[in-house]
Structure 1
């Protein structure tokens, strides 16, 4: 039976590059369809949802779609629970191009895995050479030849926190861990994790990477930066001067480094100022532009009240907060005071409105959470 042109294009578009190349010689029209499919692949990445993981508990990893339309894009074999190691629980550390970086341990991390929940392909990495209690980690994947290949290479960088006078960067590339030492010329505040009200897992999260440059929030009013291309490490100032005692977030959204901070402290939040980095990613001095000031508190309270979810009349804490990588959204996990109920909310920075993405129900009021946005690719990618 003859297929329509749209059906043929849709089938070709979903094939791996090596299989796609075999159909180029079928006819002139098929050759054009193959070329068009290759050229469009860069545009076919969608952030479809988030992995949600309570930290310090035995609760399973869960996945939530940001919309019903995006739910229909995913195949049935998509692993929403990330349980490819059946005999051991895993911690999701970061996500890049549809791949997850996972580890068996929350602290003293040495054994890492890279996993594609869409294809269920995983690889175990060689053991890291050092075993620090707390490390900051960055993870980035890229297609070396996006037109003709579906093979992904990845880079992992990490350093021990809190950083002191010397930072040792461990970088994993080409299946080898490499250590590089950098002297720090500024004073780094020492933090006692046992007395700090902020769970250290939130400081293990990377602020993302742009063109091989990785970013992390420091305990002080700084952002630590590592350029894996030119192998150099430096610090830039945050635009509002806030340190770890305040609620802050760092991430890459629509290709721009975004920073958000509120002076209300860790357990509550009011208006939040959001800034975009305007200077070059490799500039040693940061130039920030204030993008907007968000009245998050007012909109979130109103949305929760209208949804019947603000049972206690107040919010106990803002558990986690992250920037959406592809849309002008801030994703927030909130904890209601009564019963430890948790709610995932989405706040639109352009439209100044919020909505409830998911009601997690009652949980442990002392649980900390990890939100990991996930990208979906319409064609299979391989390690």
Structure 2
């Protein structure tokens, strides 16, 4: 096994920065074998424990920061990109410890006002204006901050309103990604536009749901089993999930657990999760989390229940839709991230296993979208300059 030629230090947002001190060329075969053994040990550590390591040797830290070795480690949530706003300089990033900073995608040339629109399995979907001979031209960009690879493609040409623009990517299934646009007219979805990195083109399919359907106010979506899932209003009734496949053809919708308000969906530990609030006969508001372990049967199982007053330090919030914003459910463990408008707007984390609530940091604006980011250190043929 050859010694890595250079050390790389991925930052928390996944951007690779080279170290000024390369490894010694005198590393022995025994030392390399020990390194491989350490990687094997770390790869078996649960992600929840791995991301909480505080006391490790400098050698271990250097090893886990090396790009060649990191590819062998389990990838885990590092933080959250702030999206849905045009920025001329850096993009806000909040890591899982609560510290915040700006990231600068300098590897994207000639870009002005980049806006992050979605994030999926290590890839970012961005919109941007590219300097052209006749002025700025709108483009979509899909990039991997961890490898600094990117690909751009034109807008599909649709001139009406779009309810959602979503990136769908599953590296365990395919190296290619898809981008979904859901056009709307008179509040209803009229069809779907899908871009495929494999074909390099857009396809458009007309509406195929049996009734009228619209995207609900919640911004969360999940890509699972080749389908984009989103919270929907079907024939005027909420409490549904809708799904469309990557060809834009097959459409379906199914019920979420009854009685839940302010629904939110996420993919965690390989299963679709649905979280929401329920008020009992004594006007006690509880947060409920359901999991769809058997996707084919569409049977929801209650996973967790907690009074919202526990999450909010004993406070009772009457209008959750005004004071509470979902951010994410951790993809590998039972952590819920959310924002609460109190005297300040607070980014918080709740551990369903221990019942502990942690204040992470203060935010300037809770109405912004926060996209969970898990770095991907694999080079992809679908991303090229």
Pick the TM interval, shorter chain: 0.5 to 0.7
Match of 1:50 in 2: 80
Q: Is 1:345 aligned to residue 311 of structure 2?
A: no
Q: Counterpart in 2 of 1:289? A: 301
Q: What is the aligned counterpart of 1:227 among 226, 230, 245? A: 245
Moved over 3 A (4+): 6-13, 37-43, 53-60, 81-87, 142-146, 161-167, 377-382
Q: Distance in 1 between matches of 2:189 and 2:340?
A: 36
Per-residue CA deviations over 1:131-177 (Å, capped at 9, x if unaligned) read: 3323223322244788xxxxx31112221247877641211112110
1:177 to 199, 202, 212: 202
* 8 Å CA contact retained: 1:270, 1:295: yes
Q: What is residue 99 of structure 1 aligned with on the other side? A: 123
TM-align CA RMSD: 4.1
Cα distance in 2, alignment partners of residues 2 and 343 from structure 1 = 48
Secondary structure, counterpart of 2:156 in structure 1: coil
Unaligned runs of 5+ in 2: 1-25, 41-66, 130-136
2:323 to 317, 320, 331: 317
Write the distance in 2 (CA, Å) between the matches of 1:88 and 1:60. Answer: 11
CA distance in 2, matches of 1:241, 1:187: 22
Q: Aligned partners of 1:263, 1:238: CA distance in 2, in Å?
A: 13
Deviation string 1:308-327 (CA, Å, 9 cap, x unpaired) is: xxxxxx99611333222222
Shifted more, 87-96 versus 369-378: the winner is 87-96
Q: 1:164 to 1:120 in 2, by over 3 A?
A: same
For residues 194 and 84 of structure 2, the distance between their equivalents in structure 1, rounded to whole angstroms, comes to: 28
Partner of 2:207: helix, strand, or coil?
A: strand
Asked if the contact 2:91–2:102 (Cα under 8 Å) also holds between the matched residues in 1, the reply is: no
| Structure 2 SS opposite 1:301 | coil
Pairs within 5 Å for 1:1-383:
1-3=26-28, 4-6=31-33, 9=36, 44-53=74-83, 55=85, 61-67=91-97, 80-82=103-105, 84=108, 88-104=112-128, 111-143=139-171, 152-161=175-184, 167-173=190-196, 174-188=199-213, 203=218, 205-219=219-233, 220-228=238-246, 231-242=249-260, 246-263=261-278, 270-280=285-295, 283=296, 286-301=298-313, 317-336=323-342, 338=343, 341-360=344-363, 363=364, 368-378=367-377, 380-381=379-380, 383=383
TM-score by length of 2: 0.66
Gaps of 5+ in 1: 14-36, 72-77, 147-151, 192-199, 305-313
Closer, same or farther in 2 for the Cα pair 1:359/1:39, shift >3 Å?
closer
